[in-house]
């Protein structure tokens, strides 16, 4: 699966799609492959503050439980609640099934994240 060129990526295998001061966050195809079958995703409430590199939730697969890390700091303004009942959607299409939308406190910081080709190299 190709890594979309309009996303930015973290070394912790999250992606963020920046649009103005908003950033849509999900996990990468590589992450879902490593996790295997996802059965539960625990996401924060709207209004929660997140910090760059810190956990904003957990994702659980048959194999293991992993933390979800925020690529950038800000406030959670939207949560994809459909993942509560359909967590397996993340396996099927990880780059379309976002988890949260962050209103970024410092949108310019996105420039410091990996771009698609750098991320593709990282997981090669």
Partner 1 sequence: MVAFGGWDMPVEYSGIVSEHMAVRERAGIFDVSHMGEIEIAGKNALEAVQRISCNDASRLAVGQAQYSGLLTPEGTFVDDLLVYRLAAQHFLLVVNASHIVTDYTYIAEHIQTAGDAVAVDASSRYALLAVQGPRALEVLQPLTGVDLASLKYYWFAHGEVANVRATISRTGYTGEDGFEIFAPPQSADRLWLAILEAGRPVDLVPCGLGARDTLRLEAAMRLHGNDIDQTTSALEADLGWIVGWKKDDFIGASVLRQQKAAGVTRKIVGFELLDRGIARQGYDIYADDVRVGVVTSGTQTPYLKKSIGMGYVPLTLIDPGTEFDIDIRGRRVRAQVVPMPFYKRKK
In the complex, which residues of this chain contact partner 1 (CB under 8 A)? 36-37, 39-40, 42, 58, 60, 62-63, 65, 84, 87
Taking the least distance from each CB to partner 1, the nearer of 51 and 84 is 84
Q: Compute the least distance from the CB of residue 39 to partner 1, in Å.
A: 4
Residues 123 and 30 sit within 8 Å (Cβ to Cβ): yes
Taking the least distance from each CB to partner 1, the nearer of 62 and 111 is 62
Taking the least distance from each CB to partner 1, the nearer of 55 and 105 is 55
Nearest Cα neighbor of 25 from 88, 104, 89, 111 is 104
Integer CA distances (angstroms), 88 to 16, 38, 79, 83, 111, in order: 20, 5, 16, 8, 31
Q: Compute the least distance from the CB of residue 37 to partner 1, in Å.
A: 5
């Amino acid at each position: 699966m190709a890594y979309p060129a309009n996303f930015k990526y973290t070394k912790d295998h999250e992606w963020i799609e920046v649009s103005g001061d908003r950033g849509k966050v999900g996990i990468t195809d590589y992450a879902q492959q490593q996790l295997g079958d996802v059965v539960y995703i625990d996401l924060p409430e709207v209004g929660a503050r997140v910090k760059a590199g810190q956990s904003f939730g957990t994702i659980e697969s048959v194999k293991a439980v992993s933390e979800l890390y925020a690529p950038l700091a800000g406030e959670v303004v939207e949560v994809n609640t459909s993942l509560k009942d359909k967590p397996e959607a993340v396996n099927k299409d990880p780059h379309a099934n976002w988890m949260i939308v962050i209103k970024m406190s410092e949108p310019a910081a996105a420039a410091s994240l990996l771009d698609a080709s750098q991320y593709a190299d990282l997981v090669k």
